Amino acid sequence: MRKSIATVSLSGSLSEKLTAVAAAGFDGVEIFENDLIASPLTPEDVRARAADLGLAIDLYQPFRDFEAVPDEVLDQNLRRAESKFEVMERLGADTLLVCSSVSPDAVDDDGLAAEHLNLLAGRAREHGIRIAYEALAWGRHISTYDHAWRVVEAADHPALGTCLDSFHILSRASDPRGIEEIPGEKIFFLQLADAPLMAMDVLQWSRHYRCFPGQGGLDVAGLLAHTVRAGYRGPLSLEVFNDVFRQADAGRTAVDAMRSLLALEESAGLAALPETVVPSGFAFAELTAADTEPLTGMLGSLGFARTGRHRGKPVELWEQGEARVLVNTSGSDRRSGPSLAAVGLESADPDAAVRRAETLLAPVVPRRRGADDVPLDAVAAPDGTELFFCRTGRSGHPSWTDDFTPVAARTAGTADDGDRAGVTGIDHVALPQPWHHFDEAALFYRSVLGLKPDESQDLADPYGLFRSRAVAGPGGTLRIALNVAPSPEGEATRSQHIALATDDIVATARRLRGRGTAVLPIPANYYDDLGARYGLPAERLGVLRELDILYDRDGSGEFFHFYTVTVGRVFFEVVQRTGGYGGYGARNATVRLAAQHTAQLGAV
Ligand SMILES: O=C(O)c1ccc(O)c(O)c1
Ligand SMILES: [Mg+2]
């Protein structure tokens, strides 16, 4: 279907917005009145600019507080409308959004509202304009879509229809099935927005927290399917009021918006995209470090062995169980120390995975491989992390590991096989996100990789707010924790981490302790509270306390985890899951963050 976006969804001047919208491949725009009023461009300029960019002006909006008012106010409102019709003619826009009145002048009288809307539609038609009437969720007397439709139906004018807005409908928990009872040709416009589920005043929720479909918790795809079943054939138009997008780069937000609509059409069963190939696990995590010593020292002490060296690049392979870590010494920033630059994802069909990623506008990373290297495709996640699609060690398929020459002898100072610590694989990786790309990242992992986002959680950090949202494959085969940390000192202080899995956390912790691995100390107060909270047996609690192991549980299982100190931007976590525990120990994040701040101060 045709795709549109309201200018209010993007940052910048009207002209910048139009450029961004066109570049992302949209067919049209809704011009938000304030954007026009604040623009130095005349309506004719805007019309010409949009035409040059190949954009239709699908809607002009909003026209407020019109209906069900006393006669003298009505006259004034009709005069106000006439002046908007003139602006619209100059713009070349033929549909005006009228939102339900919030004015104290309006009376609770559907008959009068219908009569006034009929009058307005008659005036509009003289200008070749149509009126799309929308119920604001906080409208004074009309606040639901079915009520707005009843009034439109009663007004019975060919130039009058309704505008559906998924936020207003779903935020009030109205039943969207009723949309199918509206004749499709009377749905003049469809606005789409999602939002995180929040218990708050609906106006504040709408004006500050809307997001693109797929980023929040509303069933926008279901609503869209009902609307199309009703016979709606107009544009799918995003209308998102969001404090973050208002500040972010417009070009990038527009691409995020387009990705949202492409994925939404697929979810609603309206379009097919290349199939989703959900990654089945981690092939590797790649760390870059100019000075590898602190990092390889840490890997060795965690029980990793250096097993391979890349044939053509300064990259080493370190392994323990199914956990593989690449240490890359090319092109790293010396000041920030080791950082996580890429993640290898096990994929049953890397080519198909790349096709889907490209269709969803993910930047494909140019290959920098040598002539003999195994082909390896990668796309860039919103934070710049490169995601490689791999098939590791499958017979009949080239494996990225073929590019590594085995390192035969035991390397001095590192662990050999007898000295491993029980790490079985990578449980998850945690990737800090720039605060203004957090929603974009959740949608990216959901749409491109088919991972399911959890609800976002806000946790206390001693120096601010720590926001975390995990995305995971079915059955927890692949888990990525996205987070935003307060970072008064700038980007470089935010740390990434790799969580390693073990089947016996106590044995692993004792092993590492014996070897002098620098584990993050956890305050005694934490264990006093843990004892009180869960009534753990004293002996068990004593072991956790002794080994700085944190604990959590939910209805289906338990979670044990401890952390190493931070090296550069990176630290490691070791985790054990029992039963069906599917979380990440979020309850312990506050203690962990505080312990890391304490450790950092100690280091300084
Ligand atoms: O917040 C508002 O006022 C507003 C205006 C126009 C819309 O289409 C809408 O959904 C909300
Ligand atoms: Mg709206």
Q: For residue 16, is pLDDT > 50?
A: yes
pLDDT score for 335 = 63
User: What is the C-alpha separation between 258 and 273, in angstroms, rounded?
Assistant: 14
Query: Is the distance from the beta carbon of residue 30 to the nearest atom of ligand 1 less than 6 Å?
Result: no
3-state helix, strand, coil in the chain (%, to 5): 35, 25, 35
User: What is the C-alpha separation between 31 and 14, in angstroms, rounded?
Assistant: 9
Residues 6 or more apart in contact with residue 87 via CB below 8 angstroms: 36, 43, 60
Structure confidence by residue, pLDDT tens digits, 579-599: 999 999 999 999 999 999 898
Average pLDDT over residues 244-251: 94
pLDDT score for 415 = 47
User: What is the C-alpha separation between 387 and 450, in angstroms, rounded?
Assistant: 14
Amino acid at 591: V
The DSSP output letter for 108 is: S
Q: 239 C-alpha vs ligand 2 centroid, how far in Å? A: 6
Structure confidence by residue, pLDDT tens digits, 527-583: 999 999 999 999 999 999 999 999 999 999 999 999 999 888 899 999 999 999 999
* Ligand lying nearest the CA atom of residue 139: 1
Q: 136 C-alpha vs ligand 1 centroid, how far in Å? A: 7
Structure confidence by residue, pLDDT tens digits, 373-394: 777 889 999 999 999 999 988 8
Q: Which atom of ligand 1 is nearest to the CA of 206?
A: 1
397 three-state secondary structure: coil
Query: Is the distance from the beta carbon of residue 533 to the nearest atom of ligand 1 less than 6 Å?
Result: no
Q: What angle do CA 104, 105, 109 make, to 5 degrees?
A: 100
The DSSP output letter for 7 is: G
Percent of the chain surpassing pLDDT 70: 95
pLDDT score for 460 = 87
Where is 162: in which H helix or E strand?
A: strand 160-165
DSSP letter string, 24-77:
TT-SEEEEEHHHHHT-SS-HHHHHHHHHHTT-EEEEEEEE-S-SS--HHHHHHH
Q: Which atom of ligand 1 is nearest to the CA of 168?
A: 10
Q: What angle do CA 2, 118, 5 make, to 5 degrees?
A: 20
Query: Is the distance from the beta carbon of residue 148 to the nearest atom of ligand 1 less than 6 Å?
Result: no
Substitution site in 30, 63, 99 for ligand 1 pocket (most atoms within 8 Å of beta carbon) = 99
pLDDT score for 374 = 78
557 three-state secondary structure: strand
Residues 6 or more apart in contact with residue 474 via CB below 8 angstroms: 278, 452
Q: For residue 83, is pLDDT > 60?
A: yes
pLDDT score for 409 = 54
Of 223, 217, 238, 214, nearest to 270 (Cα)? Answer: 223
Contact 394, 285 (CB under 8 A): no
User: What is the C-alpha separation between 417 and 454, in angstroms, rounded?
Assistant: 37
Q: 34 C-alpha vs ligand 2 centroid, how far in Å? A: 15
In 450-547, which ranges are continuous DSSP H helix? 505-515, 524-534, 538-547
Give nearest CA residue, ligand 1 atom 6: 62
Ramachandran bin of 458, using left for φ above 0, alpha for ψ from -120 to 50, beta for the remaining angles: beta
Q: 98 C-alpha vs ligand 1 centroid, how far in Å? A: 9
Average pLDDT, the chain: 93
Residue recorded with tokens 């097993």? 307
For residue 590, CA distances in Å to 141, 459, 587, 603 come to: 45, 7, 7, 20
Domains of the chain: 3-267 (3.20.20.150), 281-601 (3.10.180.10)
538 three-state secondary structure: helix
Substitution site in 206, 242, 243 for ligand 1 pocket (most atoms within 8 Å of beta carbon) = 206
Instruction: Find residue 343's DSSP bridge partners.
Output: 285, 387
Amino acid at 529: D
Substitution site in 239, 240, 246 for ligand 1 pocket (most atoms within 8 Å of beta carbon) = 239
Q: 271 C-alpha vs ligand 2 centroid, how far in Å? A: 24
Residues making up the annotated binding site are 134, 165, 191, 239, 428, 497, 573
| Cα-trace Rg, the chain | 28
Average pLDDT over residues 413-432: 81
Q: What angle do CA 289, 290, 292 make, to 5 degrees?
A: 60
Q: 62 C-alpha vs ligand 1 centroid, how far in Å? A: 7
Query: Is the distance from the beta carbon of residue 62 to the nearest atom of ligand 1 less than 6 Å?
Result: yes
Q: What angle do CA 187, 192, 193 make, to 5 degrees?
A: 150
pLDDT score for 462 = 85
Average pLDDT over residues 54-61: 98
User: What is the C-alpha separation between 517 and 83, in angstroms, rounded?
Assistant: 74
Of 495, 519, 514, nearest to 574 (Cα)? Answer: 519
Query: Is the distance from the beta carbon of residue 242 to the nearest atom of ligand 1 less than 6 Å?
Result: no
pLDDT score for 58 = 98
Q: For residue 492, is pLDDT > 50?
A: no
Q: Which atom of ligand 1 is nearest to the CA of 207?
A: 1
Residues 6 or more apart in contact with residue 197 via CB below 8 angstroms: 216, 217, 218, 455
User: What is the C-alpha separation between 515 and 451, in angstroms, rounded?
Assistant: 37
Query: Is the distance from the beta carbon of residue 203 to the nearest atom of ligand 1 less than 6 Å?
Result: no
Q: 256 C-alpha vs ligand 2 centroid, how far in Å? A: 19
Structure confidence by residue, pLDDT tens digits, 315-349: 999 999 999 999 998 865 666 678 899 999 999 99
Query: Is the distance from the beta carbon of residue 204 to the nearest atom of ligand 1 less than 6 Å?
Result: no
Q: Which atom of ligand 1 is nearest to the CA of 165?
A: 10
427 three-state secondary structure: strand
Q: What values do phi and psi take at 15, rounded to 5?
A: -65, -40
Residues making up the annotated binding site for Mg(2+) are 428, 497, 573
Average pLDDT over residues 104-114: 97
User: What is the C-alpha separation between 89 and 87, in angstroms, rounded?
Assistant: 5
Q: What angle do CA 557, 559, 565 make, to 5 degrees?
A: 175
Q: What values do phi and psi take at 465, rounded to 5?
A: -105, 135
Q: 462 C-alpha vs ligand 1 centroid, how far in Å? A: 37
Average pLDDT over residues 95-113: 98
What pLDDT band is residue 290 in, cutting at 50, 70 and 90?
Answer: confident
Query: Is the distance from the beta carbon of residue 193 to the nearest atom of ligand 1 less than 6 Å?
Result: no
Residue 265 tokens read as 């059409």
Query: Is the distance from the beta carbon of residue 61 to the nearest atom of ligand 1 less than 6 Å?
Result: yes
User: What is the C-alpha separation between 284 and 313, in angstroms, rounded?
Assistant: 16
Give nearest CA residue, ligand 1 atom 11: 136
Where is 104: in which H helix or E strand?
A: none
Residues making up the annotated binding site for a divalent metal cation are 134, 165, 191, 239
Q: Which atom of ligand 1 is nearest to the CA of 203?
A: 1
Ramachandran bin of 198, using left for φ above 0, alpha for ψ from -120 to 50, beta for the remaining angles: beta
Give nearest CA residue, ligand 1 atom 9: 136
Query: Is the distance from the beta carbon of residue 97 to the nearest atom of ligand 1 less than 6 Å?
Result: yes
Contact 63, 81 (CB under 8 A): yes
Query: Is the distance from the beta carbon of residue 239 to the nearest atom of ligand 1 less than 6 Å?
Result: yes
Q: For residue 37, is pLDDT > 90?
A: yes
